[in-house]
């Protein structure tokens, strides 16, 4: 069995930290209060509906999700490279 090279191990560790930081950012930013309201009545006939600042996800949550996805893609690439790099066992 071959040992993993130092560069691959460092890349795996850094990408793992990137995934954890992104996930932590998503969790922390989802705890923040977001102004959201819902109404179930017909508006007045002379009023015009203008969509306001409707926010489902905050900007830090979107950034955290993007960082997590980039980290997971990087982990998959490094893991695939490490698995494909293995040598064939001589018989």
Higher pLDDT pick, 58 / 76? 76
- Name the residue among 28, 34, 16, 12 with its Cα closest to residue 64: 28
With a threshold of 0.85, does the pTM exceed it?
no
Q: Show the tokens assigned to 86.
A: 């293995």
55 close to 30: Cβ distance less than 8 angstroms: no
Does residue 35 lie within any of the structural domains? no
- The whole-number pLDDT of residue 8 equals 83
Does residue 3 lie within any of the structural domains? no
Does residue 8 lie within any of the structural domains? no
Does residue 23 lie within any of the structural domains? yes
Q: How many domains does one find in the chain?
A: 1
Domain that holds residue 20: 14-30+58-85
- Name the residue among 76, 12, 72 with its Cα closest to residue 4: 12
The dihedral through the CA atoms of 51, 52, 56, 62 has a sign that is positive
Q: pLDDT for 12-69, tens place per residue?
A: 889 989 999 999 988 888 776 655 566 666 666 666 666 665 556 778 888 999 999 9
Does residue 73 lie within any of the structural domains? yes
- The whole-number pLDDT of residue 66 equals 93
| Contacts for 49 with CB less than 8 Å, ≥ 6 apart | 43
Does residue 6 lie within any of the structural domains? no
């Amino acid at each position: 069995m071959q040992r993993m090279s130092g560069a691959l191990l460092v890349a795996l560790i850094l990408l793992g930290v990137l995934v954890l930081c992104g996930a932590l950012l998503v969790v922390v930013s989802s705890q923040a209060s977001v102004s959201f309201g819902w109404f179930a009545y017909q508006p007045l006939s002379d009023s015009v509906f203008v969509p306001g600042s409707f926010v489902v996800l905050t900007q830090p949550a979107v950034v955290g999700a993007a960082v997590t996805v980039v980290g997971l893609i990087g982990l998959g690439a490094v893991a695939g490279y490490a698995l494909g790099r293995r040598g064939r066992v001589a018989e």
